[in-house]
């Protein structure tokens, strides 16, 4: 773009009086620069906030890891930061997060996918236009409501089936969390399926395929990358979900992968400490930054996985 790069080898006329229309306009130039700067500021703001959050987490975690060795953090099987005999085994909280997320995903992924397939490939236009807003409404319910729904409605029902189930448990919280995630999985998967061009469906029907064959053998494989990102988003939501678990899962740190037991997750532990009256700067207070950093690394890993899946399976239609 630079003018000097194309220095003319022959001298071309640039008349003494450049006509006004051709002359560069200072005002236009300035206006462009101002707009460009404002747009840059808007973009930079989000980057700045992200960097600031990571900075705080890493800095505070650093203080924590100066006292607690990383090996204890990763391999200790107890999480008792507030006891005299303090242990800082993140595996305990991680087990609660993994167990509750697994329960949620067992609900959300099959149901979400089936709903998406139905809405995209089978439902009529009118039904889809009515059903989709309702589905998305399900995702707009505040999670605290889901939490009490799990605690006061679902747990008593589960206790009738399985009388030994404690009042606080990961199973009930996980199941309700699954219901909460369904709309994200279903809505995004449906978008991905709808984006599959009609020509592929017509090709399939023209070969004598049924609707189900077309949906399962042509549309779903063609939408793989979008469906995979829907799943990844579902996983991220499950890992990061807080209130349902804080309310219904019991906040008792315990190394267990059994969903019928109570448990604490990384997020519900952070709520517990943040609401408590631990003095700032104490090692107990510092734990929430280490836990938060773990959570951030987990969601980052899933985002990267989602990015890789999108690139790997992207369909060029």
Q: Given the rule CB under 8 A, which residues bind other proteins? A: 124-125, 197, 199-210, 213, 217-218, 221-222, 224, 315-316
Q: How far is the CB of 209 from other proteins (least distance, A)?
A: 4
In the DSSP assignment, the letter for residue 83 is S
For the chain, how big is the Rg over CA atoms in Å? 27
Residue 12 vs 206, nearer CB to other proteins: 206
Q: How far is the CB of 121 from other proteins (least distance, A)?
A: 11
Q: How far is the CB of 125 from other proteins (least distance, A)?
A: 7
Residue 159 vs 213, nearer CB to other proteins: 213
Distances (CA, A) of 119 to 125, 221, 230: 9, 17, 15
Residue 148 vs 205, nearer CB to other proteins: 205
Residue 155 vs 189, nearer CB to other proteins: 189
Give the count of alpha carbons within 13 A of 218, CB side only: 25
Q: Tell which residue, 296, 298, 250, has the closest CA to residue 271.
A: 250
Q: CB–CB of 223/200 below 8 Å?
A: no
Distances (CA, A) of 176 to 25, 107, 228: 62, 9, 22
Q: How far is the CB of 110 from other proteins (least distance, A)?
A: 23
Residue 13 vs 124, nearer CB to other proteins: 124
Going by C-beta distance under 8 Å and a sequence separation of 6 or more, which residues neighbour residue 314? Answer: 225
How far is 214 from 120, CA to CA, in rounded Å?
12
Q: How far is the CB of 27 from other proteins (least distance, A)?
A: 48
């Amino acid at each position: 773009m630079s003018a000097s790069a194309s220095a003319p080898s022959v001298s071309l006329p640039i008349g003494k009086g450049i006509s006004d229309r051709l002359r560069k306009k200072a005002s236009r130039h300035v206006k462009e620069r101002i707009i460009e700067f404002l747009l840059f500021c808007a973009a930079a703001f989000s980057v700045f906030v992200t960097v600031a959050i990571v900075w705080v987490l890493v800095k505070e975690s650093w203080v924590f890891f100066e006292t607690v060795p990383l090996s204890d953090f990763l391999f200790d099987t107890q999480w008792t930061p507030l006891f005299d005999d303090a242990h800082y085994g993140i595996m305990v909280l991680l087990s609660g997060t993994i167990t509750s997320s697994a329960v949620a995903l067992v609900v959300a992924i099959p149901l979400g996918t089936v709903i998406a397939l139905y809405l995209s490939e089978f439902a009529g236009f009118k039904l889809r236009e009515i059903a989709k807003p309702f589905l998305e409404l399900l995702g707009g319910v505040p999670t605290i409501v889901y939490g009490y729904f799990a605690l006061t409605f679902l747990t008593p029902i589960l206790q009738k089936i399985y009388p030994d189930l404690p009042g606080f448990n990961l199973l009930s919280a996980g199941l309700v969390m699954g219901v909460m995630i369904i709309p994200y999985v279903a809505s995004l998967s449906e978008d991905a399926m709808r984006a599959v061009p009609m020509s592929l469906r017509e090709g399939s029907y023209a070969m004598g395929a049924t609707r189900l064959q077309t949906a399962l053998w042509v549309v779903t494989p063609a939408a793989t990358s979008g469906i995979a990102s829907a799943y990844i988003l579902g996983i991220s939501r499950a890992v990061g979900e807080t209130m349902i678990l804080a309310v219904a899962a019991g906040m008792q740190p315990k190394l267990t992968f059994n969903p019928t037991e109570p448990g604490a997750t990384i997020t519900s532990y952070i709520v517990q400490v943040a609401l408590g009256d631990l003095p700032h700067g104490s090692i107990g207070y510092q734990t929430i930054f280490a836990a938060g950093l773990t959570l951030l690394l987990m969601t980052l890993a899933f985002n990267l996985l989602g990015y890789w899946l999108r690139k790997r399976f992207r369909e060029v239609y």
